[in-house]
Amino acid sequence: MRFPRTRIRSAALAAAGAAVLGTALLQSPATTNSASAAATGPAAATSSYAAAAVGPVIWSDEFNAGAGTVPDSSKWRYDIGGSGWGNNERQYYTNSTRNSAHDGNGNLVITARREGGYNCHYGPCEYTSARLLTAATFTRTYGRFEARMKLPRTQGLWPAFWMLGTGNNGWPGNGEIDIMENIGKEPSNSYGTLHGPGYSAGEAVSSRYTLPNGQQFADGFHTFTVDWEPNVVTWYVDGIQFARKTPADLGGDPWVFDHPFFMIMNVAVGGYWPGYPDGSTVMPQTLTVDYVRVNSLTSGGGGGSQVTALGKCMDVAGANSADGTPVQLYDCNGSGAQLWSRPGDGTIRALGKCLDVAGGGVADGTKLQIATCSGNAAQQWTYTGAKDLVNPQSNKCLDIPSGSAANGNRLQIWTCNGSAAQKWTL
């Protein structure tokens, strides 16, 4: 299945801080306007957000089939062809076991070879490889997506493990999440990237992870992971978080990571970003995959539970932990923005902040927000046997304005009146 598009790579991905951009169906890199974070080894970037709680495996391929057998067709299908994929790549993707097969040792091996026999966009093809995808077999909204892989290593190679969004909005409107991209000339680097409308190609939001102490990804197996929650995508290498992106990182552009995506893994040969094979290139090269797994995420943001009324959840808008972020009503989705804890000091907390009456107000209609926990009376709450959440300073109830269950309805305090708009389940 293909999503053709006219995207080409920028020839210049210079400088150490430059970031890779996605593969989409056509992979592509460039520098990014949003700060491209570079993380190195165990000192990689940490986050004020806690990691999501990982639930059970809901899809996996452990690649335990016999040597020489094809990938499981109930899980993987092929992209086939030598169009250049928008990046002037040199390989022809095949469905041959010469390019993708089990090795009999619990791995799937994608092999890039120097060989002809096909016609490519530039004439007779010089290389073959494989690209496998789950578009026709498995799509998913949210979860942990992880692969354990040993990458190839030589000039001109471009392995990737990534996801594309389904839908009718094309690329980048449907979105793209790059879990891992590596290029042969940077054997110690892995890149994680988001593409969407207004932040694709040279404007994508990207971060880099560098293995410590001169290690290279071809030296052994490494795990590449994305935790994808509502309004949050977090990247890890070998369990080390190196990037976390939310709508606040997009400069006002739309967040399109709220619908089903499918997975892709491939090895490209050549292209504007990785450059092309030269006299130093050694072929064949292999991407060896131990497993690919998808887990559900049962929670995020450090624990807690949902606070519900009218069939919706109390939610921190945009999963933004900044002081003053509105607290609203929204569809329950299990994200950290909807997981509230009560540590026993009278506060109600999410994303490391406290539920707060704006400006310490006491009037009907004063809006709610999150703010740094300070112990003041605007952050004190009592939960009654009648399921009211009362702010004692104002003697007012946490209230849904007009009793409307519309998503985004900002919560307030109001004189307690016993209505369903003030009855909360913790």
The catalytic site residues sit at 176, 181
Q: What is the largest CA-CA distance in the chain?
A: 79
DSSP for 121-147? TTEE--EEE-EEE-TTT--BSSEEEEE
Tokens encoding 205: 């939001």
Which residues make beta-bridge pairs with 368?
Answer: 357
Rounded distance between C-alpha atoms, residue 214 and residue 318, angstroms: 38
Torsion of CA 145, 146, 149, 154, to 10 degrees: 50
For 300-367, strand residue ranges (E) read 308-309, 312-316, 327-330, 349-350, 353-357
Rounded distance between C-alpha atoms, residue 338 and residue 357, angstroms: 18
The DSSP call for residue 340 is: B
User: Residue 67: enclosing H or E segment and its boundaries?
Assistant: none
Upper half-sphere CA count for residue 191 (Cβ side, 13 Å) = 33
Tokens encoding 75: 């899980």
